[in-house]
Amino acid sequence: MEFFNLHTHKWTNQPNVLELVNQYPQEFDATIPYYSIGIHPWFIVEERIEADLAIIESKLHEANCLAVGECGLDKRIEVPMELQQMVFEKQLLLAQKYRKPVVIHCVVAFQELITIKKKLNISVPMLIHGFSKNIQVAKQLVDNGFYISFGKYLLLNKELEAVFKSVPDNRIFLETDTVEEGIEAVYELAAKYKGISVTEIQEKVNTNFNEVFDFKIFQKH
């Protein structure tokens, strides 16, 4: 595996890229090789929560479902926080039950996130996707056992260079999310910021991938 894309909404089917494609329960595409599946806080439909959770649980039995998510908390939307938290916690408990990592969407709710992780005693890896905050928030997350994925905002915001450099190599992932640029562009910028080669950043991300994800299903590649 040359490149691992932790979070994308678009499968590009490149032989040198392993893409973790974000899937939603009601829009599941069985042709996508590797995916995460979850209820995004933006798309919580109250009368459908149990049905969505049942679909997620059924997919968690499958080897090519690599993670739960994206799921999480978002204080900038109108969905009540109590409802968001309930849906998020149910997904975390599923992740814990099936030993799957969790890809997390978090907006202005990092303190709540850390509190929930501790309250539920979640031990599976938790990965914050699309990080765009400051060094202090990054450090707090790392200190509480989270991994941090950079992509869209790394490309868009030069000020994230210092934040990215501050995160230990054994806690980083890279992604494209919804940007048009390919994952190679993210790796190139990440390597430049860390002052190392693209090959070295690939090795670091691959090491983290092996730590977090059940790698044996990829031995045939």
Largest CA distance in the chain: 50
7 labeled part of a ligand binding site: no
Domain that holds residue 50: 3-218
Is it true that the peptide bond before 70 is cis, omega within 30 degrees of 0? yes
Number of domains in the chain: 1
Exposure letters 180-192 (e unless 16+ CB within 10 A, then b)? eebbbebbebbbe
129 labeled part of a ligand binding site: yes
Which token pair is 161? 């260079």
pLDDT reported for residue 159? 95
- DSSP codes, 127-163: EE-S--S-HHHHHHHHHTT-EEEE-HHHHH-TTHHHH
pLDDT in tens, 57-93: 999 999 999 999 999 999 999 999 999 999 999 999 9
pLDDT reading at 19 higher than 80: yes
Phi-psi region of 138 (alpha: psi -120 to 50; beta: other; left: phi over 0): alpha
pLDDT reading at 219 higher than 60: no
pLDDT reported for residue 216? 56
Q: Can you state the angle between helices 198-212 and 183-194, rounded to 10 degrees?
A: 110
State the DSSP H helix or E strand holding residue 96, giving kind and residue range, or none if neither. helix 81-98
Q: How many CB atoms lie within 10 A of CB 58?
A: 13
The DSSP symbol for 180 reads S
Q: What is the CATH number of the domain that holds 11?
A: 3.20.20.140
pLDDT reported for residue 217? 46
70 labeled part of a ligand binding site: yes
> Which single residue is written with the structure tokens 């690939």?
202
Mean pLDDT value across residues 1-25: 95
> Which single residue is written with the structure tokens 């799957």?
100
Q: Which residues pair with 148 in a beta bridge?
A: 128, 172
pLDDT reading at 220 higher than 70: no
CA distance 161 to 194: 9
CA distance 169 to 198: 13
